[in-house]
Chain A
């Protein structure tokens, strides 16, 4: 089911949580809403679900205007950050809840069979008789997903689904959700503040700031071509270096890089740790190393430029560098934004 948001607005008291957001999600697509807290991502998700009503604009499910359809008739599956499992029901009863309360009457045997299928899908066979308090956090979230899928939703909505879990479980569940999505092909929208999660999981990432969409695209598009300093900074570590643009080139104390389509004047140069390198000869930004952090996959070097800027970059594990060394930080690539 294709979802379309058309100039959606939401205000809480005086706080404008969502300002004029328009967004299209294709049928079967897996889309991440990514943004810092307060960016309106959860509010957008809750409006799509019908758990909040928008103050303006429309939400379409396919060709149908769903803006005013209450949540219980909207046909969405919603997965909450803290699972929201019914604590007094067993895992199987939780999964069966939606089928039992549905207006469509089902045979008990059909419900039981469906519960068994779903337990297999979320790999929790044999745990149907447990209560939510008796299973782990990762298992609970899988039960929550099975419960949401049981009613054959048109759309699956997940609110920070892995936010309450620890890092290893989170990585496993991420891969597993991706598998389930390709198996079922259900249109899925999920909210996260974790860039890695959004980039790993989604077909398309929608980046939000202050209730507005600042950029959207495939993970490749947003990573390789961030269109603002905010997106650049939000997606990962970045060094910020003061620069000046002259004749299609950005100059930053000894280093220079080609930029196209930027007017002459002051600018900021953004470079990922992997975009910088260390050399004993110029040209480059003269700097001295203050610390070297050893990590399993390489060495992170902290350096201070002569201009006083702190820089961080990675070198390969074999490279001999130590605190106190002087040299030049060279630019492999960088993004330049006017200030």
Chain B
């Protein structure tokens, strides 16, 4: 091994690898092992059952919708928090982390209370024909809530570090505000936005606590995949639970792979040589 002036490589690497092995790799391996103990035919039958397919659909579409919403709203929030000063800014900044701090079940119950037919929001929306609680929209709102901080907190530091001279240069060259945002600022934020999107989407796919209270949990319509896995566990059908879980795992991996690739593409300009 090459000599390194920074001390502690062996110890820190050892501890880290042990931790990763114990906490991350081992459970995932157990999951894969359990799912693999099913024969291919049984595996396929379980993961492609109508109920499972319906749960994938509602979970992925809701996660997609929630992530898209957070992409815009999170960017706007990060923008406002970095570029302007206004009374209460620090409070808003602190509140962004609330979804992380709050137990998700508490968030789920609070959202259900707000959006149920006699809740504050529900009583306004219901007469307009918009039902939120116990529909996919409710699932989406719960996902939005729990995954909002990811986009804000990945974009915020990049926006803070953006050299104001870049914008001034673009202005002196005659660019309008919208052109500057589109051609200068947004491309520089893209890697951070992608990172936030992938975290937000992955979190939404796996979210459980906040959703089950507001979702209604009707099989074939508002039953999310995580809940279906939980139901299989309750039935002591560990193999089926592992099989369905492996689908979520693969989806999350593919998503991370795609965003990493997009991020590398967006960061090509930083390569030297």
Interface residues of A (CB under 8 A from B): 49-51, 70-74, 76-78, 80, 82, 84-89, 97-98, 101-103, 131-134, 144, 147-148, 150-151
Once the chains are docked, how many angstroms separate the CA of A103 from the CA of B268? Answer: 30
B166 contacts A133, C-beta separation under 8 Å: no
B163 contacts A72, C-beta separation under 8 Å: no
- Give chain B interface residues in 47-82, CB to chain A under 8 Å: none
A101 contacts B179, C-beta separation under 8 Å: yes
Closest residue of chain B to A98 (Cβ to Cβ) is B173
Q: Contacting B163 at CB < 8 Å: which of A70, A74, A78, A84?
A: A84
Question: Counting CB contacts under 8 A, is B176 at the interface?
Answer: yes
B168 contacts A84, C-beta separation under 8 Å: yes
The 0/1 profile, CB within 8 Å of A marked 1, for residues 234-273 of chain B is 0000000000000000000000000000000010111111
| Chain B residues whose C-beta falls within 8 Å of the C-beta of A74 in the assembled complex | 172
B270 contacts A87, C-beta separation under 8 Å: yes
| Chain A residues whose C-beta falls within 8 Å of the C-beta of B188 in the assembled complex | 87-88
A143–chain B nearest beta-carbon distance, Å: 11
Once the chains are docked, how many angstroms separate the CA of A50 from the CA of B171? Answer: 10
A133 contacts B169, C-beta separation under 8 Å: no
Most buried by B among A74, A97, A147: A97
| Chain A residues whose C-beta falls within 8 Å of the C-beta of B269 in the assembled complex | 87-89, 131-133
| Chain B residues whose C-beta falls within 8 Å of the C-beta of A132 in the assembled complex | 269
Once the chains are docked, how many angstroms separate the CA of A71 from the CA of B165? Answer: 13
11 A-B contacts (beta carbon < 8 Å): A49-B172, A51-B171, A76-B172, A80-B169, A82-B165, A88-B266, A97-B170, A101-B173, A133-B272, A148-B173, A150-B173
Question: Counting CB contacts under 8 A, is B99 at the interface?
Answer: no
The 0/1 profile, CB within 8 Å of A marked 1, for residues 181-210 of chain B is 001100110000000000000000000000
Closest residue of chain B to A78 (Cβ to Cβ) is B172
Question: Counting CB contacts under 8 A, is B175 at the interface?
Answer: yes
| Chain A residues whose C-beta falls within 8 Å of the C-beta of B179 in the assembled complex | 101
- Give chain B interface residues in 139-168, CB to chain A under 8 Å: 163, 165-166, 168
Contact A151-B173, Cβ < 8 Å, known A87-B269, A134-B273 = yes
What count of chain B residues pass the 8 Å CB interface test? 24
10 closest pairs, A vs B, by CB? A98-B173, A84-B165, A84-B169, A78-B172, A101-B175, A131-B269, A88-B187, A88-B269, A80-B165, A71-B171
Closest residue of chain B to A103 (Cβ to Cβ) is B174
B174 contacts A86, C-beta separation under 8 Å: no
B167–chain A nearest beta-carbon distance, Å: 9
| Chain A residues whose C-beta falls within 8 Å of the C-beta of B170 in the assembled complex | 86, 97, 101
B176 contacts A80, C-beta separation under 8 Å: no
A145–chain B nearest beta-carbon distance, Å: 12
| Chain A residues whose C-beta falls within 8 Å of the C-beta of B270 in the assembled complex | 87, 131, 133
| Chain B residues whose C-beta falls within 8 Å of the C-beta of A50 in the assembled complex | 172
Once the chains are docked, how many angstroms separate the CA of A102 from the CA of B176? Answer: 9
| Chain B residues whose C-beta falls within 8 Å of the C-beta of A85 in the assembled complex | 169
Once the chains are docked, how many angstroms separate the CA of A260 from the CA of B265? Answer: 72
Once the chains are docked, how many angstroms separate the CA of A237 from the CA of B179? Answer: 49
A98 contacts B272, C-beta separation under 8 Å: no
Q: Contacting A86 at CB < 8 Å: which of B166, B176, B266, B273?
A: B166
| Chain B residues whose C-beta falls within 8 Å of the C-beta of A86 in the assembled complex | 166, 169-170, 184
A135–chain B nearest beta-carbon distance, Å: 10
Closest residue of chain A to B168 (Cβ to Cβ) is A51
A72 contacts B172, C-beta separation under 8 Å: yes
B165 contacts A102, C-beta separation under 8 Å: no
| Chain A residues whose C-beta falls within 8 Å of the C-beta of B176 in the assembled complex | 72, 101
| Chain A residues whose C-beta falls within 8 Å of the C-beta of B183 in the assembled complex | 97, 101
| Chain B residues whose C-beta falls within 8 Å of the C-beta of A98 in the assembled complex | 173-175
B184–chain A nearest beta-carbon distance, Å: 6
A262–chain B nearest beta-carbon distance, Å: 47
B123–chain A nearest beta-carbon distance, Å: 48
B272 contacts A134, C-beta separation under 8 Å: yes
| Chain A residues whose C-beta falls within 8 Å of the C-beta of B187 in the assembled complex | 88
Q: Contacting A102 at CB < 8 Å: which of B163, B174, B266?
A: B174
A294–chain B nearest beta-carbon distance, Å: 39
